[in-house]
Structures are given as structure tokens and as C-alpha cells.
Amino acid sequence: MKIGIITIGSELLNGLRMDTNAHWIAKNAILFGGEVISKTSILDKEEDIFIALDNFLKRNIEMIIITGGLGPTHDDITAKSLYKYFEDTPSLDISYWEKLKDRFIKKGYDVSNLNKSQALIPTRGDIIPNSKGTARGLYFKSNNAKIVAMPGVPNEMKSMMRNSVFPMIQKSSKISMHYKILRTTGIYESQLFNILSEHIDKYSNVNVAFLPSYLGVDIRISSTDKKSYSSLSETIQSKIGDYIFSEDNTPLEEVVAKRLIRNKITISTAESCTGGLISDRLTNVPGVSSVYIGGLVAYSNIQKINLLEVKEKTLLDHGAVSEKTAIEMAVGARKRFDSDIGISTTGIAGPDGGSPEKPIGLVYIGFSSKTISKSYKFEFNHDRVTNKMISSQVALNILRKNIAKLIK
């Protein structure tokens, strides 16, 4: 099914917000046999909505997905514009209006007549339920095209896509698409391509896309030919298996946390340059409290000494950003919290503080278990925030690899 996306909102055009909705829809629609062939972002103007719809319908696009502009305020004109475009006279859904009023009253909010617009239903179309919010979606048909409109709030839109729109795409799709994303970290896109290119070239009927970010490279494999898809997928996994941390879009912190939980391995953290990012990412995973004992952000040298028992001599002889300090921090965290393993970070995030011997972006990550303690050295060349995020990613990947060794 060929899909066009229209995202509505001036905030998407003036840089106040990134258009993450179109990215998410396009990335996931392929799983259900959908292919996004065009997308556009427009202002909250009736004329612009009409022009965008006309352009897409002329191109024989089979589904038009619209996000944004379904709220109750003056600049939320998507519903009103669609009713006019499709010459629809909506009616008030009294039952839903009563539910809305009850919902607002229970939350202690005043009920405004502006919200009545969210209780309208089309006479020539249908509504799309919204289990996460108050603005329901709209559905219309025009010749052979389906038009769906949803709120721009990401979690509401995603829920509606999963519950209503993706099943619609799957039912209408003329093809069965086999699809997988292999998530990698610790290797550059160019290195992956050099390893895999000769194997990819053998399968002209399989699409392989490399999707790099500063945290790693996702490899998207898709094809309508199940045999070729499976064969190439297995080959790719056999060649770069050590770098793959997920095959189902699971983030690295969840992979690590679940592995810790499954094997009942407890962990503690000692962070300096990452400022608590590792512990933040780990504690985003439900159930991690059974293995995450605690952590410290020991930013100053005195706290490294007092809280983590880093030796003063180590700091004097080698400095806070050093292999020995990273190891002593990891050991200190493990002992202080009585955990099975400890992980630490110490580095120079930038933009100041570097030297020829210790440049900006230099990071040491320490790992300690009851049988081994070691340090890893890295040099990153990004801005401060990105250096911190990359450091947390590398630390989590070090955990992933060392946990695998511990449970062998």
C-alpha cells in the first residue's frame, strides 16, 4: 500500500519541534505492507490542507495519514478543514461528550464548550478511537484512497496507529513484507558495509538499509521473498553477531537490564562525566529494581575519595581521568553497594578542560566483578551532551559483553 503523510503545525516548520511522527510512521508502516512514498509538513491553514490533499490524491496514493491539529484550540483546524473538504456535516456524539465532561471533572478541570469539537462525528466518515487522549481520529474515503487523521501527540498517535491504522494497512496491502531491524553499536557504518557488502550484493531482491546515529547503526532488512530474506538475515547475523544487541527495536539499556534480571546479577554505578545517565537509562526499564542496587555521581575528586574510596595517590599520580581512577571507582561502587558488578565513567566531556595529553572527549570506563576489574579507554569528538550520551551507550555495551562472559 502506497502511503502519503501530512504533518500539520507551524512548530514543525519553524524549528520549535522535530517531526518525529512521520519518521515513526514510515519506519513501522513497512512491517504491515505499507510504503511511505511522500510526506509533507504544512501550516495550520485550511488552504494548505486542501492543497496537500489534492496533491496526494492526484498521485493515486492509497492512504493519506494526517497528524496534528485535532485539539480544541483556535489553531486546531484539521477536523473542521476535513469536514469542509469532504462536504461532511458532523453531528455531536452526546454519549462521548458526556464521557469527556466526566473525565475533565474527575481531573479537576473546567469543562469548555471548545472541547465539543472533539465529540463530533462525521456523517460521511468514521472516528478512530483514542485510548490515550480526548481527541479521536477521523477516517474518510475518497475514491480508492483512505484518509486518516490523528492527534499530533506522539504517544496518542502511536497507540491509534497500532490499534486501528496498522491493521487497516495490513488488511489492504497486496504484499506480504518480511522485515527486521538489527541494532548494532560499537562499529561504524563504513566498517559494517565493508564486512557485508559482498553478501548483500548477492540478494538483489532484498533491501538492506544502514541507518546510522551517534549511538550505533541500525540495519533494516526487508523483502517480499521470505527465503532470500531469511538467508541474508542469517548471513548478516553470523558476520557481525558480536555487534548486534537487539533484533526487535529493544534499546540497549533494556537488553542489559533484562539480562541482569534473568541471571540475577546485581549492579551498581559510579559516574562522573556521564552525570547519572547510565543509572537513568537502566532505571527506565521496569523490574530493574531487583538487580540495580544503587549509584553515585561522584563529580569532584573529594567525593571520589570519600564515597568511592579512590586513593588520593591515584588522583595525584594519574589524575581523575585515568585508567586507574576508572577501575577504583568501579571497584568502590561494587564494594559500597555490595553488588555483583560495578561500572564507572570518568572523562572530559568538553568543551573545556582538555590538554594535549588528555584531550576533550577522552573517557575511561571501568568495570569490576568479583573476579576481574579493568578499564577501557575511548576518545570521542562531539559536543558535551553527545559525548556524555555516547559514553553511557559504550558503558552499557561493555556491560552487555561482560555479562555474557559471566554467565557462560
Query: Residues 305-338: pLDDT tens digits?
Result: 999 999 999 999 999 999 999 999 999 999 999 9
pLDDT value, residue 30: 86
pLDDT value, residue 239: 98
pLDDT value, residue 354: 86
Query: Residues 349-379: pLDDT tens digits?
Result: 999 888 999 999 999 999 999 999 999 999 9
Topology adopted by domain 2-172: Molybdenum Cofactor Biosythetic Enzyme; Chain A (3.40.980)
| Domain spans in the chain, listed from the N-terminal domain onward | 2-172, 178-246, 252-406
Q: Is the distance from CB of 166 to CB of 205 less than 8 angstroms?
A: no
Instruction: Classify domain 252-406 at the CATH class level.
Output: alpha beta
Mean pLDDT of 199-222: 95
Q: Is the distance from CB of 46 to CB of 76 less than 8 angstroms?
A: no
Query: Residues 337-346: pLDDT tens digits?
Result: 999 999 999 9
- Range list of β-strands (E), 233-278: 244-246, 267-271
User: Which CATH architecture best describes the domain 178-246?
Assistant: 2-Layer Sandwich (3.30)
In which band, very low, low, confident or very high, does the pLDDT at 290 lie, cut at 50, 70 and 90? very high
Question: Please, what is the average pLDDT of the chain?
Answer: 94
Residue 111 has pLDDT above 80, yes or no: no
In the β-sheet with 207-213, what is the strand arrangement from edge to edge? Answer: 207-213, 216-223, 178-184, 244-246
Query: Residues 164-177: pLDDT tens digits?
Result: 999 999 999 877 78
Residue 134 has pLDDT above 80, yes or no: yes
Residue type, 200: I
In which band, very low, low, confident or very high, does the pLDDT at 248 lie, cut at 50, 70 and 90? confident
Neighbours of 206 (CB within 10 A): 20
